[in-house]
Amino acid sequence: MIALHQRLTRLEAESYALVLSAAGIPHELSGAGDHWQLWVPDRWLSQAESQIEAYQSENPPVSDSTPAQVGKGHRNFSGILAALVLLAAHLAISGSADPEAYLKAFGASAVRIRGGEIYRCATALLLHGDWGHLVGNMAALGLFGSLVCIQTGSGLGWLLIMASGVGGNLVNALLRPVGFISIGASTAVFGAVGLLAAAAALAGHLRRPLGCRRYLAALGGGVALLAMLGASPKSDLGAHLFGFAIGILLGIPTALGVRRPPAGPWQALWGILTLLGITAAWMAGYWRAAPGVGSL
């Protein structure tokens, strides 16, 4: 036996041991505290070193010399802003002359969407039936939206979340009875959960030792959240499920292609596209339904 690594922490030693176990390389651990050793047979040394180097290249240590950059990459409060947008929309609509007119004109009506009023897939995300519905979606969107944006940046993150919500509402409307109508940001919330599940599943896609267990664990976590948060008797499980599915479909290429948040100008562009899309949807709704909608 020869020492592959010495003076490892317990976490490092166990992580390297897991890599070697998954690769079928015999090894032994010894030590205590922050002085652990990893031993392999002489003839396995070259293969063991290759496996550990591949693992280290996928998991570079965080430098202590750039604490400001590290902190910046792990904080994002855009979800709070999005939650406040939901609150402002609810206050404006509930304080209008005819709140019910807004639900009829901008809700995700299955028959209307099938008839070509696709904008409803976006406008319905800002409509809520009561304060309980609103507060729950504000909290969930604030949390999961911010987590997505930590990985992708705010502009790209909200573009993906909104696309997941719109796509989920569209698929839901196409499969629901013609009299069905859906409102609420929860479709986008579960789109964010799907994006996070895809990112977790593919975080180490080049690191083969963990195999399919990583994917199953990440997707299982997302499904568990869907069951826990999105399957109450009064909730629209179909919209939640389809939002989650669209989030996964969008999250796969994003996780494979975006290793770190893109630069600021790109984020600004994607953020502007998101705002323009929402604005265009509401303008289309007003253009079609203005005579029956009370003023804000």
DSSP, res 62: P
Strand partners, 36: 8, 31
CATH of residue 87's domain is 1.20.1540.10
Range of the structural domain that residue 44 is part of: 2-62
Q: Whats the size of the chain, residue-wise?
A: 296
Q: Is 82 left (phi over 0), alpha (psi -120 to 50) or beta?
A: alpha
Q: How many CB atoms lie within 10 A of CB 264?
A: 11
Residue 77's pLDDT is 86
Percent of the chain whose pLDDT exceeds 90: 42
121 with 56, same domain: the answer is no
Q: Of 129, 139, 228, which is closest to residue 184 (Cα–Cα)?
A: 129
Is residue 91 in some structural domain? yes
Q: Check whether 121 has a pLDDT greater than 90.
A: yes
Is residue 20 in some structural domain? yes
Q: Check whether 295 has a pLDDT greater than 50.
A: no
Q: Are 49 and 18 in contact (CB under 8 A)?
A: no
150 with 272, same domain: the answer is yes
Residue type at 11 in one-letter notation: L
56 with 78, same domain: the answer is no
Is residue 128 in some structural domain? yes
140 with 262, same domain: the answer is yes
Q: Give the SS3 label for residue 295.
A: coil
Q: What digits encode the pLDDT tens for the residues 210-259?
A: 445 555 555 555 566 555 555 554 567 788 889 999 999 999 999 888 87
Residue 214's pLDDT is 52
Is residue 68 in some structural domain? no
Q: What is the pTM of this model?
A: 0.69
Structure tokens at 100: 């019910």
Q: What digits encode the pLDDT tens for the residues 83-119?
A: 999 999 999 999 988 888 899 999 999 999 999 999 9
Residue 110's pLDDT is 94
139 with 245, same domain: the answer is yes
Q: What digits encode the pLDDT tens for the residues 268-286?
A: 999 999 999 999 999 999 8
| Cα separation, 163 vs 127, whole angstroms | 17
